Structure 1
Amino acid sequence: MMKRGSSNPRRSGAALMLALWALFLLSAMVIAWALDIDSRLTLSGNASRVVEAAAMASSGAEVALSPTVETGSSVLHGSLGRNQRYDARITGEGGRLNLNWILAGENPQRIGILRQYLEIKGIDLNERDRMIDCLLDYVDPDNLPRLNGAESEPEYQPKNSLLQRLDELKQVKAWEKFTAQPNWDADFTLYSTGPVDLVWASRDVLLCLPGFNDPIADRFLEYRRGPDEIDGTEDDPPFASLDQVRLALGFTPEQFAQLSGLIGFKDQVVRVVSVGKSGEVTRTVEMIIRKAAQPQMIRWKEF
């Protein structure tokens, strides 16, 4: 009797340990399940924020599409409650250098603008000549290399037609270093009418043009941007004609005549950047359109 009774505590202890171990495993499973649910709810919440931010960005883009909405209009900014809003901005695409316009027909004056731009960017004479000749060889229809250019080689094949995307510059010989820099394409386009729109041209683009120097460009930009020193806002002075631009520059009619054929005024092609926000999440819509009674979409990009 004593022998049978002495084994009960050991059995009870083993049973207790087994029960505790089972409880521990069950608790671990419950905690893991709870963490998984919490993670899924967080992901679901973030996904909803992304969708909402994208919707707000698209809303801003839709507002900017309206033919009646102009640069600096207050309707380009809007909100839905506290946490959702959009901010859209319209800028003239004509303020950028249209590379196809510059290259087509190999007009010396137009090519001179690009050459001057590369000089402003700190590229030395020999490298500029190399870049220009290689770019002309890349787009021209023949297979005859220029003095500093490059045509078909075993590991290099020029397109022999005008550019369709700015990124194609990365494939052109001698342009590798330039296109590796951040924002290398900030002053370039393929979508404008062609001539440089003085109402939107950056400082570097202005300095590429005949008759411009640092004081003239700085004085004009200070006037054009208004008190807040930002282009495309409500305090910018309106230009009703190209002659008003001439007066703002301080050019005589004779000086302004040097720019004939190189400049334009209020190009209808514009770039819209609309940023949507939901909480801390942001999404951006960038589009290039031709502003008219029936707006024409040229490019749409969302990121």
Structure 2
Amino acid sequence: MSGSKNRRKRGSALLLVLFAIILLSGLITATVQFVRIDVDEYAALNKDFRARQLAESGLAFGTNPKVENSDKALLEQRAPDGGQFRVIISSESTKLNINTVLDTNRDDLLENLFGTWGVEQKVAQTAVDGLHDYLDKQAPAQPAAANLQAGAANLQTNPQTQPFGPQFRSVAEMSLVPEFAPVMKAQPDWMDYFTTWGDGKIDVNLANAGIITLVTGVSQATADNFVKYRWGPDGKPETPDDRVYTSMDEVRAALGMSPDQFQLVENLLTLNSEIDRIESTGMIAGYEKRIVVVTSRNAVPITYLSWQEN
């Protein structure tokens, strides 16, 4: 009888031990899982921080006015830890300044551009009218003479601002215009063609053939040859032998335009970029951080007009 009781006690004790082991195993597993998640999150944060650090390093090279896209050794670097950055320097002066175009009533430029995207002429005209109407609705009351003088002074120091009439504060704001919706549908990358920075002139030493054709009215073939000349003898862009146009007379001759023809478009062109766009991407172990800034690389001290991260 007593032996049976002892066996039952030992059996109960064994069950308690097994239960304790199972409970302890569960706690250990949960703890390990918690620690693993915490470690993974820390590692992700650390890699994200490192990717941003690399992007900022690339940005330091990209904002140097003496550095060009052909300087691959500077703009594409790899760190000992496997991280790397890649920098692309471009210009806001290769895009249409939507505020300048609307203010100077060069609606034809917009309509022609939309036409190349497959937008019907009537729809394109409606979209342009919608852009004008949107700004008209934002117009404040007529400013006093003193305010007009202050606005004119501001324009001298900041080409983006304009003392007469409202402006789009960003390219993204154009999407708020209902009539512009068909254009956005026709060209999903439409934002890449516009800017709100700078004086509205197109840099002939950086603009692609499409924008050269649009602004000057020359044929696509002429614009292609105009751009290829910049590539230099090797026929490749962004290499050390690239050439630049140094005078408007040289530009006019390369475009095959008469003095009278060129006079109509010369005020839309420039030999130098006023506002730069630098895109720097930092990468490490599958993590990427991209920083895009708009600035004037020749300004001292350098000032960032726009800073975006993603």
2:94 and 2:203 in contact (8 A); partners too: yes
Quickly say closer, same or farther: Cα 1:233–1:166, change in 2 above 3 A.
farther
Do the aligned residues in 1 keep the contact of 2:124 with 2:183 (CA within 8 Å)?
A: no
Q: How many residues align?
A: 281
Instruction: Specify which of 91, 109, 118 is matched with residue 122 of structure 1.
Output: 118
Separation (CA, whole Å) in 2 of partners of 1:100 and 1:275:
30
SS at match of 2:215: coil
Structure 1 CA distance for aligned equivalents of residues 68 and 19 of structure 2: 71
Report what 1:80 is aligned to. Answer: 79
Aligned to 1:155: none
Identity of aligned residues (%): 26
1:36/1:257 CA distance change after superposition, 3 Å:
same
TM alignment of 1:32-181, pairs within 5 A: 32-73=30-71, 74-106=73-105, 110-140=106-136, 161-180=166-185, 181=187
1:95-132 Cα deviation digits (max 9, x unpaired): 100001101142xxx22111111111111011011111
Name the structure 2 match of 1:196: 202
Q: Which residue of 1 aligns with 2:24?
A: 26
Instruction: Give the TM-score of the pair, scaled to structure 1.
Output: 0.83
Structure 2: which 5+ runs fail to align?
Answer: 140-164
The partner residue of 2:262 within 256, 261, 265 is 256
Query: Which of 296, 300, 307 lines up with 1:300 in the alignment?
Result: 307
Write the distance in 1 (CA, Å) between the matches of 2:241 and 2:289: 27
Judged with a 3 Å threshold, the aligned counterparts in structure 2 of structure 1 residues 97 and 105 are, in CA distance, closer, same or farther, namely: closer
CA distance 1:72–1:193, shift in 2 (3 Å):
farther
Change (3 A) 1:51 1:234: farther
Q: How large is the RMSD of aligned CA atoms in angstroms?
A: 2.4
Gaps of 5+ in 1: 144-159
Structure with more helix by fraction: 2
2:5 match: 7
Aligned to 1:287: 293
The offset of 1:183, in angstroms, is 1.8
Match of 1:150 in 2: none
Letter in 2 for 1:17: L
The change in CA–CA distance for 1:79 and 1:208 in structure 2 (over 3 A counts) is same
Q: Distance in 2 between matches of 1:219 and 1:228?
A: 11
Structure-2 separation of matches of 1:207 and 1:67: 28
Deviation at 1:141, TM superposition (A): 6.5
Range with bigger deviation, 16-25 or 290-299 = 290-299
Tell which deviates more after alignment, 8-17 or 75-84.
Answer: 75-84
How much has 1:136 moved relative to structure 2? Answer: 1.1
The residue aligned with 1:207 is: 213
Cα distance in 1 for partners of 2:123, 2:250 equals 38
Q: Which amino acid aligns with 1:96?
A: K
Q: Which residue of 2 aligns with 1:153?
A: none
Query: Per-residue displacement from partner, 1:225-260 (whole Å, max 9, x unpaired)?
Result: 565755x45453333334444444454555534422
Inter-CA distance 225–29: structure 2 relative to 1 (3 Å threshold): farther
Equivalent-residue separation in structure 1 for 2:229 and 2:243 (angstroms): 8
Shift of 1:67: 3.1
Distance 1:241 1:92 in 2: 19
Q: Cα gap change, 1:21/1:141 in structure 2, threshold over 3 Å: closer, same or farther?
A: closer
The equivalent of 1:146 in structure 2 is none
Distance 1:4 1:82, change over 3 A: closer
Whole-Å Cα distance in 2 between the matches of residues 219 and 302 of structure 1?
36
Distance 1:244 1:72, change over 3 A: farther
**Would you say the 8 A contact 1:114–1:208 is kept in 2?**
no
Code of the residue aligned with 2:79 in structure 1: it is L
